[in-house]
Structure 1
Amino acid sequence: MTRRTVRIAMNGVTGRMGYRQHLVRSLLAIREQGGLDLGGGETVWPEPVLVGRREDALRDIARRHGLTEWSTDLDSVLDATGSGRVDIYFDAQVTPARPAALKRAIAAGKHIYAEKPTATDLAGALELARLADEAGVRHGVVQDKIFLPGLRKLKRLVDSGFFGRVLSVRGEFGYWVFEGDWQEAQRPSWNYRAEDGGGITVDMFPHWDYLLHELFGRVTSVFAQTATHVPQRWDERGAPYRATADDAAYAVFQLDGGIVAQINSSWAVRVARQELVEFQVDGVLGSAVAGLRHCRAQHRSATPRPVWNPDQPTTEPFGDQWQEIPDNDEFDNGFKAQWELFLRHVALGEPYRWDLLAGARGVQLAELALRSSAEGRRLNVPELTL
């Protein structure tokens, strides 16, 4: 068995997502399974090189996981030659810091894998895609939701023709994020400051773009209303601050083929759903409700006959009339699954469609949604090309 070591500069691993999902649950998990099997007696062995601003945090992470390489100097990591040369640059920093770092990595000839949004505006996101293409480096953007078990089951239903003609999609995402005064917030304070790249629209609409695009078709228009429902919050030091970014966004999307999608996103909603995110898809031949892990369906032949009668209590057990879609597979962590595909793309040149142009589509949708809310009108979503 031949082992090919791929060195990966990981910038932003001191953050919650970069550490938990990308380092521990993805790259270290791949190492624990003996590397990524490429077939033909060859494996890829990911070798993380931790990068960040906080030396003590990087040293602690490296110590806990038996890693030996970390640095607070990104340029030295990108410029290293010989056995210290990195092959891939991964970025999970806060959004405003991402474009400049990605440009430096592209200029250094590194393959690029990045969290989203890839930039703070569409022009910046498109520039990154162009630069990467011109440099001839491979590039990818994290689009993890489509690798979740519930959404993979939903994709199976779509591909099988279960729905017939799809009519509509309804999505509900969110949960109550504590203000931080009497209970610690579950999200960092920068998420609620527009000047730091925060806001639920720029955070979640890139997800909705690739999810709708992957499952149902390209988004062709958007009408959105954003809100800052909780105007004051308390930061990590317990100091109060004014929330300048939106913490909720309510949107209607038109998709190719006439499908209408409605998605509510909120960090100021208490959960009455089974999961933190759920999507209901209605089609002529059937419907389904999918979340992070579960998916339930109701075929046309099994649809009940509700009758509106406010004078009588509801006797129909509506929730019991849906069929659970079985796993029929072993679902790995969604971040790890996409990392494995990207590593195969880098090592073998296998097709990979979740690139920086796909990331730019997400930035475009978030930008248009914010503009739609500000102007109070529906906006068309142009198809992007380089």
Structure 2
Amino acid sequence: MRIAMNGVTGRMGHRQHLVRSILALREQGGLDLGDGTVLWPEPVLVGRREHALRALADRHGLEHIATDLDAVLADDSIDIYFDAQVTSAREEALKKAISAGKHIYTEKPSATGLDGALELARLAHAAGIKHGVVQDKIFLPGLLKLKRLIDGGFFGRILSVRGEFGYWVFEGDWQEAQRPSWNYRSEDGGGIVVDMFPHWEYVLHELFGRVTAVTAHAATHIPERFDEQGKPYQATADDAAYGIFELDGGAIAQINSSWTVRVNRDELVEFQVDGTEGSAVAGLRNCRAQHRSSTPKPVWNPDLPATEAFREQWQEIPDNQPEGGDFANGFKAQWELFLRHVYADAPYHWDLLAGARGVQLAELGLKSSAEGRRHEVPELTL
């Protein structure tokens, strides 16, 4: 099984997809399909900088690199094309891969605009190939525990979801930035709305219901940053976004996304879900819950200090994994599902149409911010 992996010299492509997913599968002896077949992934590292690809291949004991994408896609031995490039380069490469008949797995957003994302979904459907978009956060331990509560009816009727995501990304002058400079240039496909709203779309869709309307405000709080060479540049993309999402079924979600916030919470992302029968707070790994029967009765009195340790009144949700095992890395878990989809025709619905919904929400979020008004989110079809 040969996988062309484009963009693995970048942080996400290297760390999460190559090392923690594909190489992790090799370390465990391949992917057992359960019928006696074991898939052995053979990555072909694709990119523009040959020296960087060679250094990466040497570091991990890999053999195959390529700088000519067209030649890679013309190679009949390549089964799957994976894309983790910058967003602005992704759409054209995916079209080429679809045209070459390769199965597609890609980071999100799948395209820079809804029209392009829908075209990719339709082209892939017409070509009869298998296709998937990375939607890693629903495979996080904290959200898997949250889904367990939802599926068990713990919340009763869900009323609201409140999300907080983000951390302080240094400007790059006196401390090196933790994210690449293109993230802050809209002309290069940057911005927190196009990065994070696709995540919120599938998290909300999978756990609580389809997003039916959005009201958003996007801001560029830090207008000047410093690039990888220490040179100042104007930040033309939003670095914070404040969104209200109306959900099918009546629940309301409010999610703040920011690269200009200092963290005063247990994890870098947290979601609080409140329902008629109970509430829960889920992060990357942990989830705490409070049932109606054990909910305290606070009384507002600003003249007296708080006497209750509110956080101590919540119950930790256990892992409850088979045979005492730990949760798998979310990226690796989705890779395994996609590979089973390709080679064993296992069910899989996180496809390019699902990816288009994320692009749609980001596009409408930016439109809402620019116009200062609420936008309904039409349901997408091929």
- TM-score w.r.t. the length of structure 1 is 0.98
2:346 aligns with 350
Match of 1:14 among 9, 12, 18: 9
Deviations 1:177-208 (A, max 9, x none): 00000000000000000000000000000000
**Is 2:364 the counterpart of 1:368?**
yes
2:379 aligns with 383
1:338 aligns with 334
d(CA) in 2 for partners of 1:40, 1:249:
47
Match of 1:76 among 48, 71, 88: 71
Deviations 1:202-231 (A, max 9, x none): 000000000000000000000000000000
d(CA) in 1 for partners of 2:334, 2:170:
31
**Is 2:97 the counterpart of 1:105?**
yes
Deviations 1:293-345 (A, max 9, x none): 00000000000000000111110110100000001112010000000000000
Match of 2:175 among 160, 163, 183: 183
Instruction: Give RMSD over aligned pairs.
Output: 0.4
Percent identity of the aligned residues? 78
- Aligned to 1:155, the other structure's residue is in SS state helix
Deviates more, 1:200-209 or 1:311-320: 311-320
2:309 aligns with 317
Q: Return the offset for 1:41.
A: 1.2
d(CA) in 1 for partners of 2:243, 2:303:
34
Aligned ranges for residues 203-352 of structure 1 at < 5 Å? 203-329=195-321, 330-352=326-348
Counterpart amino acid of residue 365 in structure 2: A
Match of 1:131 among 123, 139, 144: 123
- Aligned to 2:63, the other structure's residue is in SS state coil
- Aligned to 1:50, the other structure's residue is in SS state strand
d(CA) in 2 for partners of 1:201, 1:146:
19
Counterpart amino acid of residue 346 in structure 1: V
**Is 2:47 the counterpart of 1:52?**
yes
Match of 1:61 among 50, 53, 56: 56
d(CA) in 2 for partners of 1:20, 1:125:
26
d(CA) in 2 for partners of 1:131, 1:46:
26
Q: Return the offset for 1:64.
A: 1.1
Alignment gaps of 5+ in structure 2 = none
Q: Return the offset for 1:118.
A: 0.3
- Aligned to 1:311, the other structure's residue is in SS state coil
Deviations 1:238-280 (A, max 9, x none): 0000000000000001001110000000000000000000000
d(CA) in 2 for partners of 1:158, 1:213:
13
Q: Return the offset for 1:132.
A: 0.3
Q: Return the offset for 1:384.
A: 0.2
Q: Return the offset for 1:161.
A: 0.2
1:3 aligns with none
Counterpart amino acid of residue 274 in structure 1: D
Match of 1:95 among 67, 72, 87: 87
1:195 aligns with 187
Q: Return the offset for 1:66.
A: 1.1
- Aligned to 2:246, the other structure's residue is in SS state strand
- Aligned to 2:270, the other structure's residue is in SS state strand
d(CA) in 1 for partners of 2:236, 2:19:
33
- Aligned to 1:257, the other structure's residue is in SS state coil
Counterpart amino acid of residue 209 in structure 2: G
Match of 1:39 among 23, 34, 40: 34
Aligned ranges for residues 156-175 of structure 1 at < 5 Å? 156-175=148-167
Q: Return the offset for 1:39.
A: 1.0
- Aligned to 1:350, the other structure's residue is in SS state coil
- TM-score w.r.t. the length of structure 2 is 0.99
Q: Return the offset for 1:80.
A: 1.5
Counterpart amino acid of residue 21 in structure 2: S
In the comparison of the two structures, how many residue pairs are matched? 378
d(CA) in 2 for partners of 1:77, 1:59:
16
Alignment gaps of 5+ in structure 1 = 1-5
Counterpart amino acid of residue 56 in structure 2: I
d(CA) in 2 for partners of 1:19, 1:123:
29
Counterpart amino acid of residue 341 in structure 2: H
